[in-house]
Structure 1
Amino acid sequence: MALLLLILHLFQPPIVGQISNLVFDSYQRAWPRPYEDAAVRIVDIDDETIRRLGQWPWPRTDMARLTDSLTGAGAAAIAFDVVFSEPDRTSPARAAEILRANPEARGDYSEIAAMTDHDELLGQAMGRGPTVTGFFLTNEANAVRPTEQAGVAVSGTPPLDALPAYNGAIAALPVIGTRASGAGFVSIQGDRDGIIRAAPLLSSIDGRIVPSLSLEALRVAQGAGAVMVRSSDGSGELGAGEITSVVAVKTGELEAPTTHSGELWMHYTADRPERIVPAWRILEGDLSEAEMRRLFEGHIVFVGTGAQGLRDLVSTPIREKELGVVVHAQAAEQIILGEFLTRPDWALGVERVLLVVLGLVIALSAPGLGALRGGLLALLGLVGVIAGSWFAFRNAGLLLEPTFPALGVVSVYIAITAVSFYREERARSHIHNAFDRYLSPELVDRIARDPGQLELGGEVRQMTVLFSDVRGFSRISERFGPQELIGFLINLLTPMTDVLLARKATIDKYIGDAVLAFWNAPLDDPDHEQNAAWAALEMHETLRRLNADNAGNPAWPGQVSIGVGLNTGPCCVGNMGSRQRLSYSLIGDTVNLASRLESLTKVYAVPILLGEDLAARLPAFATVELDVIRVVGRDAPERIFALLGPPEMTSGPAFIATRERMSAMLAAYRGRDWDAAEAALEALRGPETTPGLEGVLAIYATRIADFRRTPPPDDWDGISQALEK
């Protein structure tokens, strides 16, 4: 990942520059350049000025008055972000022509035509003060060229290939431009997104280097000669085969570092109203002489248009709409104050070294540190890169781009995390492959997610427990050899296990032909009682299908039957065993009773027996009370029920009759009314009742006959006693 980013950084596609620009823009918004009065002012021809003085363009006499007022106030330089390229339509000669063309004209207006031309008046005003005219540079070839007052000198080879080149210009009229002290271009082009991040100080036209308005204003303000340009080979910074580029510009005592193409990285201030003076206040005499001198004496004054329809709007990192004249003014401020943003030549090298070094550090350290400490290391690297870049910007004016080193840290850490995740998934898969034949899929997933759960301990939960056992398994074992017996058990227990797992059971263990399963652990199952009842019924339905499908199969021992005991209640479930070996299992009286119920299915000759608590939680299922019995190893008696069928069975007349007659029989039996009990037994044997209770009826017929011969004692409570587990 670090290598891919390094290759991308080496080729410097446009996206790299765009990312850098966005970062540096955010820095400027977070910390604009603190405003400091650098003796730079802007005279703004704003909306109020237009309202007071009339529609633009004004007569050049107004511009001449403005120029003389600023000159009289002691301005060090007056730079116009206005190009006087067309003759004044209001000049006397032109006005006389318009008057003569009027049908109502009286005379030839020769006196008016003889008055001084307004462009000449402005030119004279320009000559009386330290003025700088503006001109546009265009890519369309023409013969217009700006007036050169002082020129540009180069230390080294002229860096023409590095500068923006133009083929034409739109300049001030000669009568105006030749009288001014200097001329500078006002053309400013933004980056791909239109944002002005660097102000051009130099451009070229026909192989001639020309200065910007801000640079020329600084020269005129100091009364300096030519602008000095230091090129890369004139400063010893040119490498073999490189194009000669600009390193710095100097005018008078002021010097500014530049980009290779002669631009000044801009560090903009927030909006400062004190920098701007509306033009109407000067032209209408709103400012006293003392106030004029306070505002303009010794200052560089930029004259621009901020009125609606006239304004030259540009986008900067901190303002979406900014006056172009403000960019010129702020460029002059930065050069005067000596506060620069620079992106040194070694910046790219530092960024690439950081990218590689941090990528290697994270790549080599993070795997051994683990996810948390590796993440903290990556976070430290990320914060360090960003904080270092911000510190360099904030305290040294250095533009060091943190994005790619930061991306290196993040991408390498993500790659390591992805590899670790892949390895962990492989480890989980190994756990699945090793244990999913022994444990339920839910339990395997839980252990795979958190191997720490393989610790001793448990919790008490309300659970439903199932015991199932194959009837006559000893005879089956005698019939088959060991391999045939294992094959039979696999063919039997596999579909039974499918039924249990489909009903969200956790398989605790297989004990030969017996199965122990439970519900509501390790995952919560709010319907665990119903799921257990359905599982027991579906196990018997599956067994009936297996018997039918394997009829005549020598590997299947005829008609196989199973007994199922179900019980619900509190159990302690968790990792049981020793520190050397443990098993996820459960213990408790609920489990013991479920085991006894499974054994009692042989006694009562019913497929499924339920405990009293579970039967009470299954009111919708077809359950019938069979007895109250005290099982071996347990003092408390338990009311037991047979599960005869699913909920839809309960609405059938046969089941309704069976339940009513069974209740009547039990009531008569426990009330020692043997005749009524025998009558109920006879009714239960009728064809209109549900089959499957023949073994239970035989038990009660025997008990009643015995009690007729030997009546029970007076304290007899109707509770039976199981004689074996």
Structure 2
Amino acid sequence: MAGLFSVYTGVFNGIDRMILDYKFRYLQQEDPNNKIVLVSIDEKSLSYFNSNGMYWPWPREFYQIVTDYFQESGSELIVYDILFDTPDFDRRNLSGTMSDQRFLQSLQRSGKGILAFKSTENENSAVDLSTTNEPLIKHYNIKNSPPYQEPHLLTSKPLDEFTKAATGLGNTVMSPDEDGLIRSVHLFDSLAHMGFVPTLSMAAYLELQPDSISLEWTNNGLRVGNKEIPLQDNGDYLINWYEKGGVQDGTFPYYSFQAIVKSAIQKQRNPDAEVLVPPSVFEDKIVIIGASAAGLGDIKSTPMSSLEAFPGMEIQATLLNNLIGNNFITQPPIWITLFMLLLISICIPYAVAYSRPAKGAAAMIGIILAIIGIGLALFVVGRIWFSTGLYLMVATFTYSGSAAYKYFAEEKQKKEIRSAFGQYVQPEFVEQLIAQPDLLKLGGQKKRLTVLFSDIAGFTTISEKKEPEELVAFLNEYLGAMTDIIFEHSGTVDKYIGDAVMAFWGAPIGQDNHAELACRSTLKMMQKVKELAPQDTNIHSRFGIATGEMIVGNIGSYNRFNYTVLGDTVNLAARLEAANKTFGSSTMIAEQTYEEVKDLFYGRQLDLLVVKGKTKPVRVYELMGEKSDPHTEEIEKIISIYQKGLDFYLNREWDQAIKRFQKVLSLKPGDGPSENYIKRCQKYKKEPPAKDWDGVFYLKTK
């Protein structure tokens, strides 16, 4: 939208023009035609004639002398960028009328003189000569009207006799842009609603064409015969500048007016004389005569003015040279501009949205360099004006807007991540999630994780003995301590359910050792519970741990969701936590968890268990301690004796099994699993299991 707005409002035209100015100055083009010669009324000429008693304005006889000299030299056209709008005046020993007559005769003899007039769009013009404009209107074969119709009023025109003698007449009006620089001109203007008159250089160009040639304005510009002259949307012709102006190393050769006069007089006296400016200089050339002296007020501001002063006649020469050599500035069609803006509007937001800031900035710099490079290449190769400024500004605004949007979106996302995970994972994890939000996919994904459930055994007893305020304080202290331990071991707290805690490892940040971290965290939590337990109670926590595939992700409604885990493995861990009550154990872990940690932790098999709602048995173990801890000989001894008792139990040797379990109780009084198996053995002694009994225990409760 911003691109379309800028195209149709021209809001960035000033920047585009400024960039184009720099291209003209630093990517100069030599004159490809070598067709035009400039004769300058310069400071040297003014000084020379002043020293001979001839002050400005000079007698018209001077112009007669140079006109005859150009005619005799074989010039193709003689263009005067000078206003001959008042009769010459008498001087000492020199009649003004006679001087005008001599210049008139030279114009008539040459038949190739182009004279200048001047108009203005200002309707308050002091001179309204609309009724006498007919002699200025040359009836070119114009098939339609220009797209611009602002009427001009005449402010200055040649004397009537000069107008009739001239081969063509052209307007010298030039309107600068807002910054005061002349960059373009109207090739034709409407003169007091009576017809269309060309600018001075266009008049000269048309005199070089056949009389039958037609002119027609089209959507692309002005067609002169078979030539299409490109125009801008407002009907202006954009001038294609060559090298810097002026006498020294400029685009066109300059000759001083006084040097021409002296050369002409010398040739009149002696046709064989060698002169400063020989006639051959003007052979087959278009000669433009104008003022370059600063005091004569015809110095114009152009894009090239910073390099050298630019007389008005050189602007006319540049324009005429463009027309002669088809040296036009062209612009890509509007659909290319719109396509480029669309491309910028898509590519930059995409680069910003799907890359890190450094890469987004690098992409932006690359796009800017590409725009500049394309603009320079097109200008150098084909003088094509690629809207560099428009694209650069739209790219800059698009990047700024996209970056700002992404920044605020990311800040919002960071806030949401902190809000969603700050209570459940350690701060380091939160910052990592903020740095890599792609780790949090919407919805769920299947991953292999380890999940833990825990609650307080005997919590009902505590509840009955404490006041509500004391109970809440204890619960907050307990849950805070459990959470701290989980965070210390890089776990994620899923939820609290009363005194129960659910946590998991391996997400949202991936961890290869998630089973190990869960087990180590559990042992620390068991120790912490002993420290927190009131002295008048005999409470402890029960833990269930399972490892396997589960669904993890943001699960819930659009308005309210939770980052959690789902699946059979999660349900198994919950069942194992509850099964501790049946076995008299504190920590029950599934076989997959045990297989991953058995080299690091001690564990003893509790049973081959089928939890409620399932049919497939799961081998479960009790977590006993870390193998890296000192003084683990007693644990190893207990596990060894306990395992022998379990083997006797599975072989139906009830008495031998009871004997081993009792020995465990002597080493570890109150050992719940040993007491549980002694009760089973005593029951099976009285009521032996079926012959196909395979040792599987079916848990009847959740």
Question: Partner of 1:342 in structure 2?
Answer: 330
Which of 204, 208, 211 is equivalent to 1:217?
204
Does residue 118 (structure 1) correspond to residue 105 (structure 2)? The answer is no
- What pairs with 1:28-43 in structure 2 (closer than 5 Å)? 28-43=24-39
Which of 138, 157, 162 is equivalent to 2:144?
157
1:247 partner SS: strand
Question: Partner of 1:241 in structure 2?
Answer: none
Which of 223, 228, 233 is equivalent to 1:248?
223
Q: How far apart are residue 210 of structure 1 and its match?
A: 1.0
State how far apart, in whole Å, the 1-side matches of 2:426 and 2:483 are: 10
State how far apart, in whole Å, the 2-side matches of 1:170 and 1:5 are: 44
Q: 1:43 to 1:147 in 2, by over 3 A?
A: farther
Question: Partner of 1:267 in structure 2?
Answer: 240
Q: How far apart are residue 425 of structure 1 and its match?
A: 2.1
Q: How far apart are residue 482 of structure 1 and its match?
A: 9.1
Question: Partner of 1:137 in structure 2?
Answer: 119
Question: Partner of 2:58 in structure 1?
Answer: 58
Question: Partner of 1:460 in structure 2?
Answer: none
State how far apart, in whole Å, the 1-side matches of 2:96 and 2:406 are: 90
Contact 2:118 2:172 (8 Å CA) reproduced: yes
Q: How far apart are residue 117 of structure 1 and its match?
A: 2.1
State how far apart, in whole Å, the 2-side matches of 1:113 and 1:78 are: 25
Question: Partner of 1:684 in structure 2?
Answer: none
State how far apart, in whole Å, the 2-side matches of 1:355 and 1:114 are: 67
State how far apart, in whole Å, the 2-side matches of 1:202 and 1:149 are: 13
- What pairs with 1:395-544 in structure 2 (closer than 5 Å)? 395-433=381-419, 481=466, 484=469
Q: 1:382 to 1:439 in 2, by over 3 A?
A: same
State how far apart, in whole Å, the 1-side matches of 2:94 and 2:400 are: 81
State how far apart, in whole Å, the 2-side matches of 1:486 and 1:131 are: 113
Q: How far apart are residue 42 of structure 1 and its match?
A: 0.9
State how far apart, in whole Å, the 1-side matches of 2:291 and 2:119 are: 19
Does residue 309 (structure 1) correspond to residue 265 (structure 2)? The answer is no
Contact 1:150 1:227 (8 Å CA) reproduced: no
Does residue 6 (structure 1) correspond to residue 4 (structure 2)? The answer is yes
Q: How far apart are residue 428 of structure 1 and its match?
A: 2.7
Question: Partner of 2:636 in structure 1?
Answer: none
Q: 1:332 to 1:375 in 2, by over 3 A?
A: same
Q: How far apart are residue 313 of structure 1 and its match?
A: 2.2
Which of 345, 367, 373 is equivalent to 1:359?
345
Q: 1:128 to 1:32 in 2, by over 3 A?
A: same
Q: How far apart are residue 136 of structure 1 and its match?
A: 0.6
Does residue 326 (structure 1) correspond to residue 326 (structure 2)? The answer is no
TM norm structure 1: 0.53
2:295 partner SS: coil
Q: 1:298 to 1:492 in 2, by over 3 A?
A: same
State how far apart, in whole Å, the 2-side matches of 1:231 and 1:86 are: 35
Which of 236, 245, 254 is equivalent to 1:276?
254
State how far apart, in whole Å, the 2-side matches of 1:254 and 1:451 are: 61
State how far apart, in whole Å, the 1-side matches of 2:234 and 2:75 are: 31
Q: Could you tell me which amino acid in structure 2 is paired with residue 249 of structure 1?
A: V
State how far apart, in whole Å, the 2-side matches of 1:260 and 1:428 are: 49
Q: 1:381 to 1:184 in 2, by over 3 A?
A: same
Contact 1:123 1:176 (8 Å CA) reproduced: yes
Does residue 45 (structure 1) correspond to residue 41 (structure 2)? The answer is yes
Contact 1:201 1:264 (8 Å CA) reproduced: yes
Q: How far apart are residue 246 of structure 1 and its match?
A: 5.1
Q: Could you tell me which amino acid in structure 1 is paired with residue 129 of structure 2?
A: A
1:187 partner SS: coil
Q: How far apart are residue 310 of structure 1 and its match?
A: 0.4
1:5 partner SS: helix
Q: How far apart are residue 280 of structure 1 and its match?
A: 1.8
Q: Report the number of matched residues.
A: 459
Does residue 292 (structure 1) correspond to residue 265 (structure 2)? The answer is no
Structure 1, unpaired ranges of 5+: 96-111, 238-244, 455-476, 498-506, 517-574, 584-632, 634-725
Contact 2:42 2:293 (8 Å CA) reproduced: yes
Q: Could you tell me which amino acid in structure 2 is paired with residue 121 of structure 1?
A: R
Q: How far apart are residue 304 of structure 1 and its match?
A: 0.9
Greater mean alpha carbon deviation, residues 370-379 or residues 294-303: 370-379
State how far apart, in whole Å, the 2-side matches of 1:115 and 1:319 are: 37
Which of 181, 191, 202 is equivalent to 1:205?
191
Does residue 24 (structure 1) correspond to residue 15 (structure 2)? The answer is no
State how far apart, in whole Å, the 1-side matches of 2:353 and 2:189 are: 54
Q: 1:169 to 1:224 in 2, by over 3 A?
A: farther
State how far apart, in whole Å, the 2-side matches of 1:114 and 1:268 are: 42
State how far apart, in whole Å, the 2-side matches of 1:171 and 1:82 are: 10
Contact 1:120 1:176 (8 Å CA) reproduced: no
Which of 580, 587, 605 is equivalent to 2:514?
580
State how far apart, in whole Å, the 2-side matches of 1:371 and 1:399 are: 32
State how far apart, in whole Å, the 1-side matches of 2:514 and 2:485 are: 21
State how far apart, in whole Å, the 1-side matches of 2:142 and 2:432 are: 75
2:140 partner SS: strand
Q: Provide, for residues 234-288 of structure 1, a one-character-per-residue CA deviation record: whole Å limited to 9, x for no partner.
A: xxx5xxxxxxx952335xx977444466543211112244521111211233994
Q: Could you tell me which amino acid in structure 1 is paired with residue 346 of structure 2?
A: L
Q: 1:184 to 1:322 in 2, by over 3 A?
A: same
Q: 1:283 to 1:116 in 2, by over 3 A?
A: same
1:167 partner SS: strand
Greater mean alpha carbon deviation, residues 195-204 or residues 42-51: 195-204
Q: How far apart are residue 79 of structure 1 and its match?
A: 0.9
1:284 partner SS: helix
Does residue 83 (structure 1) correspond to residue 83 (structure 2)? The answer is yes
1:79 partner SS: strand
Q: Could you tell me which amino acid in structure 1 is paired with residue 224 of structure 2?
A: V
State how far apart, in whole Å, the 1-side matches of 2:152 and 2:341 are: 39
Q: How far apart are residue 510 of structure 1 and its match?
A: 6.6
State how far apart, in whole Å, the 2-side matches of 1:81 and 1:147 are: 21
State how far apart, in whole Å, the 1-side matches of 2:354 and 2:197 are: 60
Q: How far apart are residue 18 of structure 1 and its match?
A: 2.6
Q: 1:179 to 1:386 in 2, by over 3 A?
A: same
State how far apart, in whole Å, the 1-side matches of 2:344 and 2:82 are: 52
Q: 1:261 to 1:134 in 2, by over 3 A?
A: farther
Q: Could you tell me which amino acid in structure 2 is paired with residue 319 of structure 1?
A: S
State how far apart, in whole Å, the 1-side matches of 2:406 and 2:98 are: 84
Question: Partner of 2:74 in structure 1?
Answer: 74
Q: How far apart are residue 303 of structure 1 and its match?
A: 0.9
State how far apart, in whole Å, the 1-side matches of 2:389 and 2:327 are: 25
Structure 2, unpaired ranges of 5+: 267-273, 440-461, 489-508, 518-629, 631-702
TM norm structure 2: 0.55
State how far apart, in whole Å, the 1-side matches of 2:516 and 2:304 are: 67
Greater mean alpha carbon deviation, residues 324-333 or residues 382-391: 382-391
Q: 1:166 to 1:70 in 2, by over 3 A?
A: same
State how far apart, in whole Å, the 2-side matches of 1:225 and 1:421 are: 67
Contact 2:135 2:163 (8 Å CA) reproduced: no
Q: How far apart are residue 366 of structure 1 and its match?
A: 5.7
Question: Partner of 2:528 in structure 1?
Answer: none
User: Identity percentage over the alignment?
Assistant: 19
1:83 partner SS: coil
Q: 1:486 to 1:30 in 2, by over 3 A?
A: farther
State how far apart, in whole Å, the 1-side matches of 2:301 and 2:375 are: 24
Q: Could you tell me which amino acid in structure 1 is paired with residue 35 of structure 2?
A: A
Q: 1:254 to 1:51 in 2, by over 3 A?
A: farther
Q: How far apart are residue 336 of structure 1 and its match?
A: 1.7
Question: Partner of 2:560 in structure 1?
Answer: none
C-alpha RMSD of the superposition: 4.8
Contact 1:70 1:78 (8 Å CA) reproduced: yes
Q: How far apart are residue 166 of structure 1 and its match?
A: 0.3
